Amino acid sequence: MTPTAGLSQGRLTFGMCVGVTAVAFESIAVTTAMPKAAGDLGHLAWYGWVFSTFQVGLLFASVVAGRMCDRLGPVRPLSLGMAIFAVGLIVAGSASDMVMLIVGRLIQGVGGGALNVALYVLIARVISEPDRPRVFSWVSTAWVLPSLAGPPVAAYLTDQLSWRWVFFSVLILVAVWVVLTVPNLVTVRRAGLDGGHPGSGAVPIWAAVLVAAAVPAIGVAGQRLDLWAPVIGVLVVILFVIALPRVLPAGFFGRGVDRPASAIRAVVATRGLFAGAFFSTEVFLPLSLVEGRDMRLLWAGTLLTVGSLGWTAGSWAQSRLGTRMRRDRIIVAGSCSITFGVAGAAITAYLPATWIGVVVAVWVVAGFGMGLATASTSVAIMRLSSDDAQGRNASSLSVAEALCNAILVAIAGSIFAALHTTADASITFGAVMTLAVVAAATGIAAATRIGPVYDTDSQDSLGR
């Protein structure tokens, strides 16, 4: 891709990272602020909805924004997403009761979902193929950074000012994003890089609604051990059977021999499996350290920060490896690292006398694998997708990740609920993490079916 006059890729990349940091900080920092917010607003029983509605909005917008980007180009969905996200911040920060806060979080999720997918398509339009892995390294770092700084910053704002400033303060990042990004978006439109493909199909609003409703329903089913659990489970399956063929890549459930379609299917499946394995382990890992080793919660939580550092290292490593390795092989390597790390966590859960340094080491390896594989699956999908399917396939990665996260966390929660009152902590947490090991190993198998993917045409022609 030739440079576009007036377009500063450096400023645009930095602006995109600021937008990602804004969404990531808000989604993480709200966890720290919520106990105080719930105390002020009341209705503690609705506490969980503050988090689940954000995910519902995120998933819904990811599906819709993907199709909008294919039909209209990325600039308008990106700008609209940030505007909606800012409105959600204002609504949540001004909330007079829990319902208003929940509505604000839903609006934030819609804005964040649109922003994420449109950002991906914008990278495909304006960033040259050799530079994409490096840009995704910056984007990954922007996602991880708030996990390090978000909780202490949110705690300070909540203690010294008010929990409302956890939302209002993010508006500063929104303003920075506007200054850095909007002039470049105008340039992108003037250069004709924002064109859409009207024939790419109508936006499946009903399918987005069904998928967005089904994912949190999985969590509800996983928390129940009564007769309603299978009823909810059957309803979820029905929703997915109806909706998933419309939101996942074309031909995802078919048996065609078309090379791009089969490779895209394998990439999407791999992303869902390794992400679900990692996050379902991450949910229970701190609790396993607290209950199985009597570790203080502060130190158990610090372990997740160490994993985030591994993630950052992996995301930068993939940008350098891409010039020497096929992209699909980097995905396989990342999947293997995640499986090794999750298996190590499971073994140390079964053997709680294991030195804590082993737990730290295996979780760094798992985080490193996430850095390798997450960025690489995004690069691979971008490389394999046609111009009129970039948005849909980008949103498919979000759908697969959210779906597998919800399913594996729900099943893990059911295993935990069934065992924690009758079995030793080592057996309980070991069984929970064994589920993740199976998912991660299945992800390796899916990754090996992707086939050769190169970052650039020149690498493809040389076969390396």
197 occurs within a structural domain: no
The 10s digit of each residue's pLDDT in 15-57 is: 888 888 888 888 777 777 777 887 777 766 666 677 777 878 8
Claim to verify: residue 238 and residue 341 sit in the same structural domain: no
Instruction: Share the mean pLDDT of the chain.
Output: 81
Q: Which of 139-148, 256-265, 304-313, 343-352 has the highest mean pLDDT?
A: 343-352
* pTM passes above 0.85: no
The 10s digit of each residue's pLDDT in 258-288 is: 667 788 889 999 999 999 999 888 878 887 8
Give the structural domain span for 155.
Answer: 1-192
Q: What integer is the mean pLDDT of 54-62? A: 82
**Residue scoring higher pLDDT (50 or 363):** 363
pLDDT confidence bin for 88, thresholds 50/70/90: very high
462 occurs within a structural domain: no
**Whole-number pLDDT of residue 1:** 46
Claim to verify: residue 135 and residue 42 sit in the same structural domain: yes
Return the CATH number at 117.
1.20.1250.20
Three state DSSP letters for the chain: CCCCCCCCHHHHHHHHHHHHHHHHHHHHHHHHHHHHHHHHHCCHHHCCHHHHHHHHHHHHHHHHHHHHHHHHCCHHHHHHHHHHHHHHHHHHHCCCCHHHHHHHHHHHHHHHHHHHHHHHHHHHHHCCHHHHHHHHHHHHHHHHHHHHHHHHHHHHHHHHCCCHHHHHCHHHHHHHHHHHHHHHHHHHHHCCCCCCCHHHCCCCHHHHHHHHHHHHHHHHHHCCCCCHHHHHHHHHHHHHHHHHHHHCCCCCCCCCCCHHHHHHHHHHHHHHHHHHHHHHHHHHHHHHHHHHHCCCHHHHHHHHHHHHHHHHHHHHHHHHHCCCCCHHHHHHHHHHHHHHHHHHHHHHHHCCCCCHHHHHHHHHHHHHHHHHHHHHHHHHHHHHCCHHHHHHHHHHHHHHHHHHHHHHHHHHHHHHHHHCCCCCHHHHHHHHHHHHHHHHHHHHHHHCCCCCCCCCHHHHHHCC
What's the CA gap between 85 and 15, in Å, rounded?
16
pLDDT confidence bin for 143, thresholds 50/70/90: confident
**Residue scoring higher pLDDT (223 or 238):** 238
Claim to verify: residue 366 and residue 319 sit in the same structural domain: yes
340 occurs within a structural domain: yes
**Whole-number pLDDT of residue 457:** 54
Claim to verify: residue 295 and residue 380 sit in the same structural domain: yes
- 269 Cβ neighbours under 8 A, 6+ residues apart: 400, 443, 446
**Whole-number pLDDT of residue 2:** 44
The 10s digit of each residue's pLDDT in 163-194 is: 888 889 889 999 998 988 888 888 877 777 66
**Whole-number pLDDT of residue 345:** 92
Claim to verify: residue 307 and residue 163 sit in the same structural domain: no
Q: How far is CA 321 from the centre of its chain?
A: 23
Cβ atoms of residues 72 and 17 within 8 Å: no
Claim to verify: residue 265 and residue 211 sit in the same structural domain: no
Tokens of 305: 């920060």
Claim to verify: residue 269 and residue 236 sit in the same structural domain: no
Structural domain total, the chain: 3
**Whole-number pLDDT of residue 217:** 75
Backbone angles phi, psi at 404, to 5 degrees: -70, -40
199 occurs within a structural domain: no
Asked if residue 319 has pLDDT above 60, the reply is yes
Please name the amino acid found at residue 96. S
Claim to verify: residue 145 and residue 226 sit in the same structural domain: no
Asked if residue 203 has pLDDT above 60, the reply is no
Claim to verify: residue 92 and residue 51 sit in the same structural domain: yes
Q: Which of 312-326, 382-396, 412-426 has the highest mean pLDDT?
A: 312-326
**Whole-number pLDDT of residue 464:** 52
Q: In the chain, pLDDT over 90 holds for what percent of residues?
A: 19
Claim to verify: residue 112 and residue 31 sit in the same structural domain: yes
pLDDT confidence bin for 206, thresholds 50/70/90: confident
Asked if residue 129 has pLDDT above 50, the reply is yes
What's the CA gap between 288 and 171, in Å, rounded?
37
Q: Which of 65-69, 262-266, 441-445 has the highest mean pLDDT?
A: 441-445
Give the CA angle between residues 228, 233, 237 to the nearest 5°: 150
The 10s digit of each residue's pLDDT in 220-237 is: 666 666 677 778 778 888
Asked if residue 297 has pLDDT above 90, the reply is no
